[in-house]
Amino acid sequence: MTGGALPAAELWAVAEAAADAAAAVTLRHFRGRALLAESKAETFDPVTVADREAEAAIRAALRDRRPADGVVGEEQHPEDGVSGLTWVIDPIDGTRGYISGTPTWGTLIALRDADGPVLGLIDQPYIGERFMGGLGRAAWRGPQGEGALAVRPARELSEAVLFTTFPEIGTPEDRAAFDRVAETVRLVRYGMDCYAYALLALGQIDLVIEAGLHAYDIAAPIAVIEAAGGLVTDWEGRPVHDGGRALAAASPELHAAALARLAGGETACPEG
């Protein structure tokens, strides 16, 4: 099934309803003094009651409106579908930020077919910002109004702004590769979670580089950034739909320059 054959208006209505359902939960718990986080791994990987309740709310909204679709999420087992479409959801991307009170976490909702993500939504309900891409949309909505998403023009790698969430995740070789890019760019910022991808699609920054991702971490950002004119691959330039090491860039030229640095080479991005 191709993107052009999908019922775009219906699917976007479903995605937004699911995001609204999650927001009702996440905002109720956000900055709550009694919010407790438990770890899902030996290293600190927090999950809260808000994560679990928000995913349940999203799944309920999807089952009510699109019962034939599959669902893959962070907190519950996958649900198989028969439509050829699968929703890929992360109720709170950035739980570390969520439990710390920073408004850089978000809810991620994506829809994919056999070829990859066709729709993506990044929602930050505390700020009131929503970023949407795919199936004819490349748009944002927030407290200051709404508008079109569009990435920044190509620029030299030395002029680029790079964001990442966890530079310490991955192997020592992954960290060394990241550092090769970081030492070349103009500005690096850390700990932004999914909000970094939204800012790239909005035309505020140029690069996002991360490792250790799951499909639910990256599916929605792929759709949003591609709709805005950017590109997202793994560190070898291949599809990254199932997670792993991701490189998101505002232009092909900048993407090529960052890939070369990740691989250990030297290159420059021509101004354009």
The DSSP line for 139-156 is EEEETTEEEE--PPPP--
What residue ranges define each of the domains in the chain, with the CATH number in brackets? 3-147 (3.30.540.10), 157-262 (3.40.190.80)
Per-10-residue mean pLDDT for the chain, 272 residues long? Answer: 75 98 96 64 67 96 98 91 97 93 96 97 98 98 97 97 87 94 97 96 98 96 98 98 97 98 68 40
What pLDDT, on the 0 to 100 scale, is given for residue 74? 82
What pLDDT, on the 0 to 100 scale, is given for residue 4? 54
What pLDDT, on the 0 to 100 scale, is given for residue 180? 97
Per residue in 21-48, is it b (16+ CB within 10 Å) or e — as a string?
bbbebbeebbeeeeeebeeeeeeeebbb
Instruction: Check if the beta carbon of residue 188 is closer than 8 Å to that of residue 208.
Output: no
HSE-up of residue 149 (Cα within 13 Å, Cβ side): 33
What pLDDT, on the 0 to 100 scale, is given for residue 47? 72
What pLDDT, on the 0 to 100 scale, is given for residue 58? 98
Interatomic CA distance for residues 245 and 248, integer angstroms: 10
What pLDDT, on the 0 to 100 scale, is given for residue 33? 61
What pLDDT, on the 0 to 100 scale, is given for residue 20? 98
HSE-up of residue 115 (Cα within 13 Å, Cβ side): 6
What pLDDT, on the 0 to 100 scale, is given for residue 236? 97
What pLDDT, on the 0 to 100 scale, is given for residue 39? 54
Interatomic CA distance for residues 172 and 256, integer angstroms: 23
What pLDDT, on the 0 to 100 scale, is given for residue 48? 84
